[in-house]
A and B are shown apart, each in its own frame.
Chain A
Amino acid sequence: MGGVKAILRREYVERVKSKWFLFGTLIVPLFFLGLMLVPWLFASGREKTSRTIALVDETGVLHGRVAPRLEEAGFTVRLAGHGTEESLRAQVLAGELGGYLVLGPEALSHGQVTFVGPQGPGLVGGMTIRSAVAQSALEVRLGDEGTREELEALLAGGAMDVRLLQDVGGGPTEGDPQFMGVFVGTMLLYMVILLYAVAVMRATMEEKTGRIAEILICSVRPGDLLLGKILGVGSVGLTQLAVWVAFGILLLTLGLPALLTLRPELVDPTFIAAALPGLGQATLFVALFLGGYFLYAAVYAGMGAMCSTEEEAQQAQFPVVLLLVLPVLFLMPVMEAPNSTMAVVASFVPFFAPILMYARVGTGEVPLWQVLAALALLYLAVLAVAWVAGRIYRVGMLMQGKRPTLPELWRWVREA
């Protein structure tokens, strides 16, 4: 076991110390952060003046309702009297004003409004202005029937409550927060498993092509070597995941409230809360990640031992990547009907289980025994694959030259 520890430590330390680890670990959260912040930064910088608009109300009744609505959406509104249009035009040209709105008689009858500015109000800005005017006009014309909230609800397109009868097992539909959470989770599983399994293959190939394998194999049992390598790279993966999760928590606890106060229309906190996995699901995620990673890492390690060049490895990878892509293709039908026969059977196949079982549990009621059975099968498969891979590893690491054919591989497994 001393050998496993030394191999594990080397694999972990050398990787964590590398520039690529730092880069990869920081770039992902920064990417997501950027995805959230860029529109806001972009907006706040440019729109300081362009979001300041003047309002010329010829109807005399609309500005009291339109102005607050626009202010709520982030505009700064200045009321202007009749006949000031010439001076407003000058102010717009001077860059002191983002534009001005003219509410003529048509505004009250048709919701028709005129925007005058150096450029259009933009897609969202235009929609905000139009709906503010149209809603205000409707309110004025409907008089005082009903409260403002009631009117708003009506105008927003109403709402529908869906009540599910037990055991019907309908999956959630797209746009559901739960759906988003599961989808992001499975994609993360797919990415991380593939990323680190391939890292194990590269590590193996480095030792093979760098001619280090011989010295390792005579000092450490091949099984220990394989185990140390997989655990080492896996620990790097977990470290990276931990950094990401910590970053995510930081973002949700500190960044999100800050963002909420600045641009409330960008994020819906209830949506995000519903998309986050519960404790049970998070545990399942880790168990599936580890199982899936071990399984694929063992396959990839064996493959790295078989190949002598990068090109060979690329070709040999193809069928294995297919094994990982297949469940992603099944993802939609499985999420639509998580308890269909197809979904149940597919989620028991060890190579598919990490992704499909997570998707099933996330979208429907899955009996506990099925989850446990799938996990048991997954980990049994890990043992079997690791045994075969270890034997291929032992022979392959010392072979240079062409990739073995299938019958040759079989001989390696038998004779090692």
Chain B
Amino acid sequence: MNGSRTNGAAIQLEGVTKRFGGHTAVSLLDLEVPEGAIYGLLGPNGSGKTTTLRMVMGILIPDEGRVRLLGGPAGVRQNRLVGYLPEERGVYRKMKVLDLLVFLGEIRGMPRGDARAKAGDWLERLGLEEWAEKRTQDLSRGMQQKVQFIGTILHDPVVLVLDEPFSGLDPINQEVLEGIVREFHARGATILFSTHLMDHAERLCERVCLISRSRKVLDGDLRELKKRERRGLVAVEFQGDDGWLRGPEVREVRVSGDGVHLFLTDGADHQAILRRGVEAGARIDRFELVEPRLHEIFVRHAGALGDVDGLGVGEPGRAKGGTSWEG
């Protein structure tokens, strides 16, 4: 695992822009994935996640900016050390499962014998050993996806680039793959994955980058982000009139199961609201700064960039706001 280490960042994007015809898919993106990190690239459909990952892998070449992977320009040589799971996952339908895996190992420079042995081990581990000699077209979609995942990690990559690795899998298999990702992380591998499933990001990531409408809106350590964002959300339980809740500090009031959530405007002081409540004579049982869920953070920042309605960019007909893409 400790093949090529570079100082600091395993993946680095500087001012990267990619356009397709008149459409800008990614705009002036800076991204730095530290070595050994699990990094989540989050955003709604059509926000530029796949384009970004393809540029990381050197499949697409940015119109502007610079991409570096393991200290070098993205390209075939670098990619041998990387396990890339594309969003569009295909297989040779007529090939046998084991043959396919050996082939995938081989094109990344593994000797045939090694590839065969490793593939056998992984198939066994994922409960697919009886399928080794079956054609891939006879497998269910979920099984195919597991085979593709094996193909991605077969050559013991030091970097994993996974595009929506968990979509389409049942919860049990999601857990299995998550476990493998964690294992690679524990062995020091760097992991960059995209998802629109905030739950996964929340469970797995150390760092996240949120992009919306081809721009980065948030980037950093997940725990710090949450701590920072904590000032923005207050959970309140009270009895009496609710007039005191509204004020210049409060952007939105949302009634939730256990009370009321107040979304504060930037820089607002929650003490002012509390004071107003006490003055109004309300009986306040709970007034707590809550750690927001990633989903709420994202909705808020995507909204701050312009309009929340823009979340479903490029996909007319989608429901407004973040709920449409949250898993």
Is the C-beta of B95 less than 8 angstroms from some C-beta in chain A?
yes
- Other than A219-B80, A221-B76, give 4 A-B pairs with Cβ distance below 8 A: A14-B94, A14-B99, A210-B93, A218-B57
Say which size band chain B's interface belongs to.
Answer: 20 to 34
A14 to B103, CA, bound (A): 11
What residues of chain B lie closer than 8 Å to A7, measured between beta carbons? 107
Q: Which chain A residues numbered 19 to 58 have a C-beta less than 8 Å away from chain B?
A: none
User: Which residues of chain B are near A217, meaning CB under 8 Å?
Assistant: 59
Q: A7-B107, A214-B59 are in contact. Are A219 and B76 (CB under 8 A)?
A: yes
Task: Tell me which residues across on chain A come within 8 A of B84, comparing CB atoms.
Answer: 215, 218
A141 within 8 A of B: no
Contact sample, A vs B, 6 pairs, CB 8 Å cutoff: A6-B103, A6-B106, A10-B92, A210-B90, A210-B92, A216-B107
Whether A148 sits at the interface, judged by CB under 8 Å, is no
Task: Give bound CA distance, A6 to B102, whole Å.
Answer: 10
Q: Is A398 an interface residue (CB 8 A)?
A: yes
- B142: CB under 8 A from chain A? no
Is the CB of A139 closer than 8 A to any CB of chain B? no
Contacting pair B90 A218 (CB below 8 A): no
| Chain B residues close to A by CB (< 8 Å) | 54, 57-60, 76, 79-80, 84, 86, 88-95, 99, 103-104, 106-109, 151
0/1 interface trace, chain A 277-288, chain B, CB 8 Å (1 if under): 000000000000
B103 to A2, Cβ gap below 8 A? no
Q: Given A14-B92, A18-B94, are A214 and B86 also a contact pair (CB < 8 Å)?
A: yes
Contacts of B88 in A (CB 8 A): 211, 214
Q: How far is the CA of A231 from the CA of B13 in the complex (A)?
A: 37
Residue in B closest to A7 when the chains form the complex, CB atoms? B107
Which chain A residues lie closer than 8 Å to B106 at the CB level?
2, 5-6, 9
Q: Which residue of chain B is the closest to A400 with respect to CB atoms?
A: B88
A219→B93 contact, CB < 8 A: no
Verify if A85 is at the interface (C-beta below 8 Å from B).
Answer: no
Q: Main secondary structure on chain A at its contact with chain B?
A: helix
Residue A3 is within 8 A (CB to CB) of chain B in the complex: yes
Chain B neighbourhood of A180, CB < 8 A: none
Q: A212–B107 contact, CB under 8 A?
A: no
B103 touches A218 (CB 8 A): no
Closest B residue to A4 by beta carbon equals: B107
Chain A residues near B58 (CB-CB < 8 A)? 218
Q: In the complex, which residues of chain B have a beta carbon less than 8 angstroms from the beta carbon of A6?
A: 103, 106-107
Nearest Cβ on chain B to A225's Cβ, whole angstroms: 9
With both beta carbons as reference points, the residue of chain A lying nearest to B88 in the complex is identified as A211
Shortest distance from the beta carbon of A89 to any chain B beta carbon, whole Å: 66
Chain A residues near B108 (CB-CB < 8 A): 219
Give CA–CA (A2, B110) in the complex, Å.
9
- Which of chain A's residues 217-240 have a Cβ closer than 8 Å to chain B? 217-221
Give the nearest-CB partner of A395 in chain B. Answer: B60
Are B90 and A3 touching (Cβ within 8 A)?
Answer: no
Chain B residue with Cβ nearest A416? B61
Per the bound structure, the CA–CA distance linking A148 and B235 in Å amounts to: 124
- Chain A residues lying within 8 Å of B90, measured Cβ to Cβ, are 207, 210-213, 215
Chain B nearest Cβ from A292, distance in angstroms: 28
Residues of the B chain whose Cβ atoms lie less than 8 Å from the Cβ of A218: 57-59, 76, 79, 84
